[in-house]
């Protein structure tokens, strides 16, 4: 089989077993040709993703303050033990969960409902709505933070001004400095960016559903709700799982920029999350060991979540084959 | 079958005022903040806090003040150069890699493929400190090289292009081979011209995400003159947090190229975003 290894895929060849085995010997450079095409991308990924990942693992066993001339001290597993007894870390973990759970309705439930309710809209109107609803997705996170800070500003923002005109507020709403409200504001902003994208994903998945199922169900006397419950939802299950996984895995990334720009984790760590904490440990407190240890734990943790979700989607999701 | 569409299950086919109302509300929620940003950026100081939805007196003062407050031209130039070079490099490396993956069966193919596919599981925060050290050692901090070269490849682009390369008709490739084309020739004379449209729309996607990137420039740059417009906006917000007119002018400027591209190409942009999400 040695010779069969690098054969180009040709027409009519479906799998490796259908390949012709007898071929004239080919020059050596044909064996390395495929690798040459991969090389530029591979080098970049190895140097800037996997090598630093391995180095982070290494740094997680040392104490170091990011200053090149200062020594690194081996501390074994101490960073791992320390990191999880820190009160900020517990707060950050709880907040990370709040972000995930808070964003899910805006990235899965609401978009799915809207997509199902509006599936009947067709033609030019549909395209116009699509274009408008999608716009937040292409905006930069920093721009979005800046706009919302202006709109939600306690004394000059349009939301507070309008509410004050209508209801004569006793106290202006401090969306980003009130300890209870700040995290909700960041969840809202993050959801605002993602909701249109998610709605379009669900719409596209709905458009792929074979409408004959619905017609057959209608002939059998199924009501609207029954059609949704027994036909549409099962057929949407791969999309539901996909968007949920995306939210769980990326909620901390999506919120990072907003946290950094709007609250810096405050007031009193009310809005911090794990990634923001890692950033702070690394570049504000220069606790490289803590940051690296926590990063490794979350890398493995999120990897496991992804693995489980992919397994689940193979088992639970209903595919219309 | 037409008659069935009016029965219960077929109700999904009929457009109702309620659906339009829902979509109109959603559209307004999506677009209002962006409209408000642009509106504020053109408003005269006296009307800055007005709740009116229409512009009164239009002025460019805020833009002038924003340009004086931060090195806007320089940062815009940096961002254009960074986003354009990243896009070109990523397209180049991913076209080559997707071709390698789709054209041959070779040893370690699935491992190498997984190496790319799994990068999205590696969070920025799990690599940032060693990357920061490397950037410092190379002397690439506050440089365009540091902004561009580490992002020379995109796993997302490779996976997406691999899908379209894989479904490219093999008959065309074989015909070209019989005519004496080399593998390199097949890529650029047969496959590339045929897939130009999807490669171009991938390019638009890559440009948008490079332009909007926040994490990497935050790590690489510490001086405004060497940074991108996103970092500039954030700095401006943290130093002059109440200059709402100039701030909105800066935010509008930072979004302008993306908004223009979006207005021109929204159909393709939405389609490729959704397609990549559905993959």
Q: Are residues B111 and B199 in the same domain?
A: yes
Q: Is A299 touching B (CB cutoff 8 A)?
A: yes
Amino acid B78: pLDDT = 96
Q: Is B185 touching A (CB cutoff 8 A)?
A: no
**Helix pair B61-69, B244-278: axis angle to 10 deg:** 80
Amino acid A7: pLDDT = 62
Amino acid A312: pLDDT = 82
Burial class (CB in 10 A: 0-12, 13-18, 19+), A157: buried
Question: Which residues in chain A are closer than 8 Å to B173, comparing Cβ atoms?
Answer: 10-11
Question: Which residues in chain B are closer than 8 Å to A145, comparing Cβ atoms?
Answer: 234, 237
Residue B9 lies in a domain: no
Count residue pairs from A and B with Cβ separation < 8 A. 332
Q: Return all residues near A218 (Cβ < 8 A) that are at least 6 apart.
A: A227, B4, B7, B8, B9, B10
Q: Single out the residue of A271, A297, A276 nearest to residue A102, CA to CA.
A: A271
d(CA B2, CA A218): 13
d(CA A105, CA A107): 6
Q: Provide the chain A residues 168-227 that lie in CB contact (below 8 A) with chain B.
A: 192, 195-197, 199-201, 204-205, 211, 214-219, 221-224, 227
Q: Are residues B141 and B30 in the same domain?
A: no
For chain B, which ranges sit under pLDDT 70?
1-15, 277-279
Which of 3.30.70.260, 1.10.3720.10, 3.90.320.10, 1.20.1530.20 is the CATH number of A82-315? Answer: 1.10.3720.10
Q: Domain limits at B48?
A: 17-59
Amino acid B11: pLDDT = 45
Q: Are residues B24 and B86 in the same domain?
A: no
CB B126 within 8 A of CB A16: no
Q: What's the number of domains chain B is made of? A: 2
Give the ipTM of the model, two decimals please. 0.90
Burial call A222-233: b when 16+ CB within 10 Å, e when fewer: bebeebbeebbe
Q: Which of B121, B183, B254 sits opposite A303 (nearest CB)?
A: B121
pLDDT in tens, A99-158: 999 999 999 999 999 999 888 888 888 889 999 999 999 999 999 999 999 999 998 899
- In this structure, what token pair is assigned to residue A84? 């999880």
Q: Are residues B272 and B136 in the same domain?
A: yes
Amino acid B278: pLDDT = 57
CATH of the domain at B103: 1.10.3720.10
Give the mean model confidence (pLDDT) for residues A24-43. Answer: 87
**Ranges of CATH 1.10.3720.10 domains, chain A:** 82-315
Residue B8 lies in a domain: no
pLDDT in tens, A161-184: 999 999 988 889 999 999 899 999
């Amino acid at each position: 089989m040695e010779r069969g290894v690098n054969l180009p895929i040709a027409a009519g060849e479906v799998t490796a077993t259908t390949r012709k085995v007898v071929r004239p010997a080919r020059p050596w450079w044909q064996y390395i040709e495929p690798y040459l095409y991969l090389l530029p991308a591979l080098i970049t990924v190895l140097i800037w993703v996997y090598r630093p990942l391995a180095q982070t693992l290494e740094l997680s066993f040392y104490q170091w303050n990011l200053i090149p001339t200062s020594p690194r001290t081996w501390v074994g597993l101490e960073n791992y033990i320390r990191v999880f007894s820190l009160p900020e870390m517990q707060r950050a973990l709880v907040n990370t969960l709040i972000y995930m759970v808070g964003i899910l309705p805006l990235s899965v439930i609401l978009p799915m409902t809207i997509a199902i309710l509006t599936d009947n809209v067709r033609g030019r109107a549909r395209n116009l709505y699509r274009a408008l609803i999608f716009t937040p997705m292409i905006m930069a996170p920093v721009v979005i933070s800046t706009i919302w800070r202006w709109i939600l500003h306690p004394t000059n923002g349009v939301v507070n001004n309008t509410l004050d005109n209508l209801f004569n507020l006793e106290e202006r709403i401090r969306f980003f400095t009130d300890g209870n409200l700040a995290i909700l504001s960041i969840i809202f902003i993050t959801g605002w960016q993602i909701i249109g994208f998610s709605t379009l994903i669900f719409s596209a998945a709905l458009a792929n559903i074979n409408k004959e199922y619905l017609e057959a169900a209608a002939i059998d006397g199924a009501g609207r709700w029954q059609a949704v419950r027994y036909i549409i939802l099962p057929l949407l299950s791969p999309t539901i799982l996909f968007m949920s996984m995306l939210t769980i895995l990326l909620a901390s990334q999506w919120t990072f920029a907003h946290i950094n720009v709007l609250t810096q984790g405050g007031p009193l760590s009310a809005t911090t999350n794990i990634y923001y904490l890692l950033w702070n440990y690394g570049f504000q407190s220069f606790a490289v060991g803590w940051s690296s240890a926590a990063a490794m734990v979350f890398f493995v943790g999120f990897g496991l979540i992804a693995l489980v979700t992919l397994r689940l989607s193979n088992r639970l999701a209903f595919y219309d084959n | 079958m037409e008659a069935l569409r009016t029965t219960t299950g077929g109700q999904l086919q009929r457009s109702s005022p309620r659906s339009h109302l829902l979509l109109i509300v959603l559209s307004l929620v999506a677009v209002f903040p962006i409209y408000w940003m642009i509106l504020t950026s053109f408003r005269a100081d006296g009307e800055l806090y007005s709740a009116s939805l229409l512009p009164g007196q239009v002025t460019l003062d805020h833009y002038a003040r924003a340009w004086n407050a931060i090195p806007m031209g320089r940062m815009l130039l940096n961002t254009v150069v960074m986003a354009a070079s990243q896009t070109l490099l990523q397209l180049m490396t991913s076209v080559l890699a997707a071709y390698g993956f789709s054209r041959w069966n070779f040893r370690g193919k699935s491992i190498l493929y997984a190496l790319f596919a799994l990068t999205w599981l590696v969070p920025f925060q799990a690599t940032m400190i060693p990357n920061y050290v490397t950037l410092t050692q190379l002397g690439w901090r506050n440089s365009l090289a540091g902004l561009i070269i580490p992002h020379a490849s995109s796993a997302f682009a490779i996976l997406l292009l691999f899908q379209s390369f894989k479904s490219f008709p093999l008959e065309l490739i074989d015909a070209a081979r019989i005519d004496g084309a080399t593998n390199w020739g097949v890529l650029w004379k047969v496959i590339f011209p045929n897939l130009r449209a999807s490669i171009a729309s991938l390019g638009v996607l890559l440009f948008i995400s490079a332009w909007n990137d926040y994490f990497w420039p935050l790590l690489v740059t510490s001086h405004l003159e060497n940074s991108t417009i996103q970092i500039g906006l954030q700095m401006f917000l943290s130093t002059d947090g109440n200059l709402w007119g100039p701030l909105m002018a800066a935010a509008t400027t930072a979004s302008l190229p993306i908004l223009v591209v979006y207005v021109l190409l929204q159909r393709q942009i939405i389609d490729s975003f959704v397609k990549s999400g559905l993959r």
